[in-house]
Structure formats: C-alpha cells, structure tokens
Homo-oligomer: A and B are copies of this chain.
Amino acid sequence: MAVTDEAIEKIKGMIVSGALRPGDRLPKESELAADLGLSRNSLREAVRALSLIRILDVRQGDGTYVTSLDPQLLLEALSFVVDFHRDDTVLEFLAVRRILEPAATAMAALRISEQQLDALTAQLDRLGEDPSVEDLVACDLEFHRGIVQSSGNSVLCSLLDGLSGPTTRARIWRGLTQEDAVGRTLREHRAILAALRDRDAEAARSWATVHIASVEQWLRSTL
C-alpha cells in the first residue's frame, strides 16, 4: 500500500478511535509527516483527499482541523460524487427518492411546526401562478428540503439533498416539454402542504409519492 494511503488510514484511525475529536487541530504538516513517517508532500495528498470529503478543514496560515463530522456535512460530499452519475441511472436515483421522500414527508407531518408551515405557504404564494420552469424547480427543491428538514432526521435530510441533484435536470426538461407539468406541480405542492397542516401523515405520504411518481412515469415513458 502506498504511503499516502497508509497516512489516510492512520488519520482516519486517529479520528475514529477518538484520539482526534471534532474541532481538534492536527499537528502541523511537517510534524505530522515526521510522526507518520512520510514526506510532507505525500502527507499533503492524504490531507487533501480527506479535506475533499469534509473530514478535515484546512485553513491556510492557521492550521488543519477535524470538521464537526456532522452527518449533514459528511453527506454533503455525496452530492459531489453524485454529480458524476450518468444520465442512464437517473431512474434509479429517482426510485430511491421515491422511497425516501414520502417516508420523510410522513414523518414531517407529525413534527413540523406552525412557523415552518407558514414559511412553506409563504414560499408557495411568492412563486405565483405562472412561474418560469427554472424558478419552479428551484422552489421545488427548497420546498422539499424544508419538509424533509422537519422530519428531524439529519441523515435522511442530507441523503435526500444529495440524491435530488441528479433528478433536477430531468425535472427541468419535463417542465419545458410536458403540457401542464408546471400547473400540476403547483397543485401537488399545495396538496402536500394541506396534508401537513392536517397532520395527516398518510395523506402526506401519498401525495409525496404521487408527486415523485409523476416525474418518474414521464421519464420512463420518454426514455
């Protein structure tokens, strides 16, 4: 195994074992390199790799720190990876989202606060009746994120955030080409919101399923 890979494993080990805790500062590059028995250049490769996936936070002129390691932060790296997906796998991503999103929406129905409900309502009102497709999709992302955050599960939230990216393009494409896709999306958003206000988890789940399934169905028939 290459020395850099060993260094990655060793740093990982230090964090997992608790020798390094969230927020801790690492020894300076030259010292850590000496400790781990490799050159500063090779160590930097290891640190850079861990910093790409948000394990480490490198601040020039200051030092290198362990991040908070929050699931939210760590899964942010997921979206970077997901950007590389190929178009022929959009359906698989969408299928997973179709499983998670209704579940998250149902969970949110039991926990969402009145303030959050009001905020979602205001957001939909702001969009108006006839928005541009780009505005709609941006608003769509925001709407669903707001709901999923109310599920109270940050892992679920980050995961859905990461998975939503790839399907965005598909949604824009649909909005541009399918008759009444915009109006349908708006109506479904209102329905989901109404179900949340009623604290009706099953209705919320069903509307979320319908909402995503409509995109999925269109995509399947188009490909």
**Residue ID in chain B nearest A75 by CB atoms:** B81
Chain A interface size, under 10 / 10 to 19 / 20 to 34 / 35 or more: 35 or more
When all copies of this chain in the complex are counted, the total is 2
A interface majority secondary structure: helix
CB-defined contacts of A51 to chain B, threshold 8 Å: 49
Q: How far is the CA of A12 from the CA of B81 in the complex (A)?
A: 10
A-B contact pairs, 27 of them (CB 8 A): A8-B52, A12-B84, A16-B84, A22-B86, A41-B41, A45-B48, A45-B49, A49-B52, A50-B52, A52-B52, A53-B77, A69-B84, A69-B85, A71-B93, A74-B81, A75-B81, A78-B81, A89-B154, A92-B154, A93-B155, A95-B153, A95-B155, A96-B100, A99-B100, A99-B103, A99-B156, A100-B100
